[in-house]
Amino acid sequence: MKHFIIFILFTANLLAQQVGDKIVAVVDNEIILKSELDFRVNFESAQKKLNPTDPVIQNSILNQLIEEKLLYAQAELDSVTVTDEQVNQQLDNQINYFITQYGSKERLEQIYGMPIEKIRRNLRDDTRKNLMAQSVQQKKFGNIQVSRMEVEEFFNSFKDSLGIVPEKYQIAHIFQNPRAGDRIKQKARELALMLLDSLKKGGDFAELAKKYSNDPGSAAQGGDLGFVKRGVFYPEFEAAAFALAPNQLSGIIESPVGFHIIQLLERRGESIHSRHILIKLKADDEADLKSIEFLNDIRDSIVRGTNTFDYYAKRYSDDKENSRFGGELGIFEKSQLDKSLLDIIFKMKVGDISFPKRLEIDNNTYGYHIVKLIKRTSEHKAELDQDFTEIKRLTEYYKKQKFYSKWMEELKEKIFWEVRL
């Protein structure tokens, strides 16, 4: 949902810049443009197969937009703040989401007619506002809990509409990223060092960037990143770039995407004009083979009883988000699994561990993993005890929605808002 909100805000803002626009609502110090409303109406109508000209749908979506602005207004009243680190992390997630949606970074840049860094700059303010709105909502409703009695009451009231619970799979995996190896890292660093040495001997920065840089958004411009304020780049990159004097070269700077050579061209107050050469960490056939062999060895050790899946996941999985939980990914319905993973899981028995399979994370990231089927739950009619966790989650959502609706009415009494349709 976070990605969706930022996506439509950004796209509507671009449309507003391209065509004459009209204000359809004002909320505190914020405005809602007709382009923003039209885009949201068309987008959601296409997704849900609704009629975008239906006044009921238009009013409903306008109300959603007003509520989003009210949340931000309340966040400002509460002096809610978010850090640059939080904004940067959210921007990274959003950009990766967009790239996945459009198929490639180049395609995203082509559609919006600007490099990734400019897209980040245009998204930055909306991202900050969105995070502030989420924060104030989390503070208000994040700790809402329900009792066993409330869950039972909810189930008894809605059990006939809960329908059939589809088959579910509880799974875990051990993931290996071929690019995480020391050999790959050293290979990229050596190339960066060679380029830095060439630059120090008088090499043409722009020509080397065009030939070697792995940043498609700037390579064609000789690595030029334009004027940028603080908070746009990765912290490691930014610390090095802002410390340079005009025309000075950095050393080899490592960031989450690879190794950079940076040159500061000009400084204007808190903005800098810089260029860089990026050498990304790239896997090769040898790295892929080593990952597959390593996972096969781990699988063999688990099957022989040398140690447990949980042990190896915590010790060796490159999926750090899940490795501390023994590699557990969660419980999924059939519809939530991509076909390649479902084909593996469907043939497995509980306790089985698959052989290594390639896993596509996004258009720029992949790896290999072995998967364990922890539990399989057959399709069945919703039952209170068997599906208690899911029914409890639905009860909490229902309770939050009731409180949210009441709170929104209070905000509409307290904060100025006006529809201008």
**Whole-angstrom Cα distance, residue 244 to residue 251?**
10
Whether 175 and 299 map to the same domain: the answer is: yes
Tell me the pLDDT band of 13, cut-offs 50, 70 and 90: low
- The confidence score (pLDDT) of residue 180 equals 58
Q: What is the pLDDT confidence band of residue 61, given thresholds at 50, 70 and 90?
A: very high
Is pLDDT at 275 greater than 90 in this prediction? yes
Residue 11, pLDDT > 70, answer no
Residue whose entry in the numeric block shows the structure tokens 């989401």: 97
> Is 415 within a domain?
no
Same domain for 106 and 217, yes or no, is: no
- The tens digit of pLDDT for each residue in 93-119 reads 888 777 777 777 778 788 777 888 888
Asked if residue 371 and residue 311 are part of one domain, the reply reads yes
Q: What is the pLDDT of residue 1?
A: 47
Same domain, 172 and 303: yes
Helix 182-200 to helix 285-304 angle, to the nearest 10 degrees?
A: 160
The CATH number of whichever domain residue 99 belongs to comes to 1.10.4030.10
Q: What is the mean pLDDT of residues 345-374?
A: 88
Q: Which residues contact 50 (CB under 8 A, 6 or more apart)?
A: 44, 57
CB neighbour burial string for 33-57, b if at least 16 within 10 angstroms, e if fewer: bbbbbbbbbebbbeeeeeeeeeeeb
Q: What are phi and psi of 111, to 5 degrees?
A: -65, -40
Q: Which SS3 state, helix, strand or coil, does residue 369 take? A: strand
Residues 96, 33 share a domain: yes
**Alpha carbons 39 and 229: distance in angstroms, whole number:** 30
Asked if residue 318 is part of any domain, the answer here is yes
> Are 138 and 105 members of one domain?
yes
Q: Give the span between the Cα atoms of 364 and 96, in whole angstroms.
A: 9
- Kindly indicate the confidence band of residue 354, based on its pLDDT and cuts at 50, 70 and 90: very high
Q: In angstroms, rounded to a whole number, what is the distance separating the alpha carbons of residues 89 and 294?
A: 31
Cα distances from 364 to residues 96, 106, 179, 232, 284, in angstroms, run: 9, 12, 11, 21, 14
Expressed in percent and rounded to 5, the helix, strand and coil fractions of the chain are: 55, 20, 25
Claim to verify: residue 35 and residue 105 sit in the same structural domain: yes
Smallest Cα–Cα separation from 33: which of 23, 18, 45, 43?
23
pLDDT over 70 (residue 9): no
Q: How far apart are CA 408 and CA 404, in angstroms?
A: 6
Sheet holding 365-377, edge to edge: 328-333, 168-176, 365-377, 357-362
Q: Which of 140, 15, 144 is nearest to 74 (CA)?
A: 140
Task: Give the mean pLDDT of 143-162.
Answer: 93
**Percent of the chain beyond pLDDT 90?**
54
Residues 175, 136 within the same domain: no
Cβ neighbours of residue 16 closer than 8 Å, sequence gap 6 or more: 33, 35, 36
10 and 119 co-located in one domain: yes
Specify the pLDDT at position 63. Answer: 94
Query: Number of C-alpha atoms within 13 angstroms, CB side, residue 357?
Result: 17
Q: Is residue 418 part of a domain?
A: no
Specify whether 125 is located in the same domain as 65: yes
pLDDT in tens, 215-260: 887 888 999 998 888 877 888 998 999 999 999 999 999 988 889 9
Same domain, 78 and 101: yes
Q: What is the mean pLDDT of residues 146-169?
A: 93
**pLDDT band at 317, cuts 50/70/90?**
very high
Q: Are residues 174 and 307 in the same domain?
A: yes
Burial of 98 (0-12, 13-18, 19+ CB in 10 A): buried
- Least confident piece of the model among 148-152, 178-182, 216-220: 178-182
Q: Kindly tell me the burial class for residue 394, based on how many C-beta atoms sit within 10 Å of its own C-beta (0-12, 13-18, 19 or more).
A: middle
Measure the CA–CA gap between 75 and 137, rounded to whole angstroms.
9
Give the pLDDT confidence score for residue 49 in this predicted structure.
84
Question: Residue 182: which pLDDT band, with cuts at 50, 70 and 90?
Answer: confident
Report the pLDDT value the prediction gives residue 126, as an integer from 0 to 100. 86
**Residue 5: what are its φ and ψ, rounded to 5°?**
-65, -45
Looking from the CA of 332 toward its CB, the CA atoms found within 13 Å total: 17
d(CA 255, CA 248): 19
Average pLDDT of span 164-185: 85
Work out the average pLDDT over 130-139: 92
The pLDDT, as a whole number, for residue 7 is 53
Domain span at 44: 2-143
**Is residue 410 a part of any domain in this protein?**
no
The verdict on residue 408 lying in a domain is no
Residue 132 binned pLDDT confidence (cut-offs 50, 70, 90) = very high
pLDDT at position 194 is 96
Q: Identify the domain boundary among 246, 261, 280.
A: 280
> Looking at the predicted structure, is the pLDDT value of residue 20 above 60?
no
- Give the per-residue pLDDT at 39: 81
232 assigned to some structural domain: yes
71 occurs within a structural domain? yes
Q: Which residue has the tokens 């960066």?
A: 192
Residue 266 sits at the vertex; the CA angle it makes with 263 and 272, to the nearest 5 degrees, is 85
Boundary residue ending a domain (250, 265, 280): 280
Number of separate domains in the chain: 4
Q: What mean pLDDT is reported for the chain?
A: 88
Note whether residue 406 is domain-resident.
Answer: no
Residue 168 parent element (H or E): strand 168-176
The CATH number given to whatever domain includes residue 334 is 3.10.50.40
| Residue tagged 């005009």 (tokens) | 246
CA–CA separation, 127 and 121 (whole Å): 10
The pTM score is: 0.57
